[in-house]
A and B are shown apart, each in its own frame.
Chain A
Amino acid sequence: NAGVTQTPKFQVLKTGQSMTLQCAQDMNHNSMYWYRQDPGMGLRLIYYSASEGTTDKGEVPNGYNVSRLNKREFSLRLESAAPSQTSVYFCASRDREGNEKLFFGSGTQLSVL
């Protein structure tokens, strides 16, 4: 009963370092999403993948890249981390158009020093 699994749960980076946040879902969902959550701002969409093999920019894509490796996995990469990318990152998935419910992972707390 895993649902959406994100790794790591916590990460500290120095400015300029790179890292990849991993996300996997075991619900056979088509669509997957990456959000960031900053204090007082709710969640903002970084990138999404409507189906395997496709990715599109969301509201705040600058400084990030994504890969939809297969139907299960959707990774988020920070090529050169900046302090402005300190945030909590959430991965989410949805099975099909018309089903409104998003399933979220437990989040990754990232600090960039």
Chain B
Amino acid sequence: AQKITQTQPGMFVQEKEAVTLDCTYDTSDPSYGLFWYKQPSSGEMIFLIYQGSYDQQNATEGRYSLNFQKARKSANLVISASQLGDSAMYFCAMRGSRGGYNKLIFGAGTRLAVHP
């Protein structure tokens, strides 16, 4: 069975510092994809970054990078130079290769607070 675990219910960071949000996953699929989404207080879900299981390099999107450690089954999100606008809920998600996108599953989320 596929599972996403986010062990940090809440995190805080000082503005301009970097922060790592943890995500571990479990799957028996040989091919899978990992995602991070941001949910600000306004409620919408915003796509941040994607990592394919066969990608050789860690994904980066601006200030976001995904620290992908396949052997440890972890896909941590690193936010560099935190900004006040980064305060939000962050969800890790995974897509398996069987059944495609309809099998996208989400973790419980981590609430990040950025302090000035």
A residues whose Cβ falls under 8 Å from a Cβ of B: 31, 33, 40-45, 48, 50, 56, 58-59, 88, 90, 92, 94, 97, 100-107
B residues whose Cβ falls under 8 Å from a Cβ of A: 4, 33, 35, 37, 42-47, 50, 91, 93, 95, 100-102, 104-109
Chain B residue with Cβ nearest A48: B102
Let me know if B101 and A40 touch, CB within 8 A: no
Chain A residue with Cβ nearest B43: A107
Assuming the contacts A42-B91, A48-B102, A94-B101, asked whether A104 and B44 have C-beta atoms less than 8 A apart, the reply is yes
Chain B residue with Cβ nearest A92: B45
Let me know if A40 and B102 touch, CB within 8 A: no
Measured between beta carbons, the chain A residues less than 8 angstroms from B47 are 101-103
CB distance from B108 to the nearest CB of A (A): 5
Let me know if A42 and B50 touch, CB within 8 A: no
Most chain A Cβ neighbours within 10 Å, of B45, B46, B100: B45
Measured between beta carbons, the chain B residues less than 8 angstroms from A102 are 37, 45, 47, 101, 104
Measured between beta carbons, the chain A residues less than 8 angstroms from B95 are 100
Let me know if B43 and A45 touch, CB within 8 A: no
CB distance from B59 to the nearest CB of A (A): 10
**Cα distance A56–B101 when bound, in Å?**
12
